[in-house]
Amino acid sequence: MIDIKDVPQGLLDKIRKRFDAEPKVQMLRVQQQMLQRTGKFVEALSLAKEIDVLFNKCVYEYLKDAENQVQHIDVANLDMPLKDKEDMMQMLLVCFMCADVIETSVKNMNDILHRYDKDMYMEMFNDIRQVMQMSKEKLKYLRENSGYMKDFVWDDNCDNLYDMAKSKAGAIMRKRKDDKNWGKNKEEFSKRYE
């Protein structure tokens, strides 16, 4: 299981926010503040430690649930036609490959930024990278419990997908730059997504 110190800070912050919103935790925080106001600092510190222990338990429960969800990926045991099982597995692999591509893209953007400023990061994708950490756990399960990632085919195909997506992004950028009518068909475009 992933250790609490390996959980991305943004994800920990979200778990903390949910944890702190719990009425029982809020009551414990009020008690802690009352103890501090009345000069009972040792008791307040002890209660703060108890709250931290509860938070750690909460994080581990969250991680355990995530791990259990990973272990339920196996569609082979479902009562469905083989074609649907294959389609499900194909879509699952697409999700994993896209996760790999996103992670590679963010890493490469940060590498470019670090050429100019070692402390600068592309932060707009930090939330996605937190999801990526969980995806890595799922990929680890896939690696250990299936044959899909036991060959260079996985890496090569993810690299090909990355190169293709990069090429398509370049084509969109060129088209936008060269097309004088870019964005003028907003009504027609928005109808496509109704």
The string of pLDDT tens digits covering residues 148-192 is 666 677 778 888 888 898 888 888 888 888 877 777 776 766 666
Which of 28, 46, 70 represents a domain boundary (last residue)? 70
* pLDDT 10s digits, 70-129: 555 556 667 888 888 878 877 877 877 787 788 788 888 888 988 998 888 777 776 666
The verdict on 58 and 89 lying in the same domain is no
Domain check: are 32 and 8 in the same one? yes
> CB 79: neighbour CB atoms within 10 A?
4
Residues 120, 26 within the same domain: no
Give a yes or no: residue 76 inside a domain: no
Query: What is the overall mean pLDDT for the chain?
Result: 78
User: Which one, of 64, 74, 70, lies nearest residue 2 by Cα?
Assistant: 64
Instruction: Indicate whether 64 and 100 sit together in one domain.
Output: no
Tally of domains within the chain = 2
Looking at residue 91, its pLDDT comes to 82
Q: Quick one: 64 and 99 in the same domain?
A: no
Domain-ending residue, one of 70, 93, 110: 70
Q: Say yes or no: 62 and 152 in one domain.
A: no
Please write the tens of the pLDDT for every residue from 9-55: 777 788 888 888 888 888 999 999 999 999 999 999 999 999 989 98
Residues 96 and 154 in one domain: yes
Domain contains 137: yes
Q: How far apart are CA 164 and CA 177, in angstroms?
A: 20
Smallest Cα–Cα separation from 157: which of 65, 107, 90, 106? Answer: 90
For the entire predicted model, the pTM comes to: 0.50
Helix or strand or coil: residue 115? coil
What domain range includes position 186?
82-192
Q: Tell me if residue 70 falls in helix, strand or coil.
A: helix
Q: For 131-147, what is the mean pLDDT? A: 69
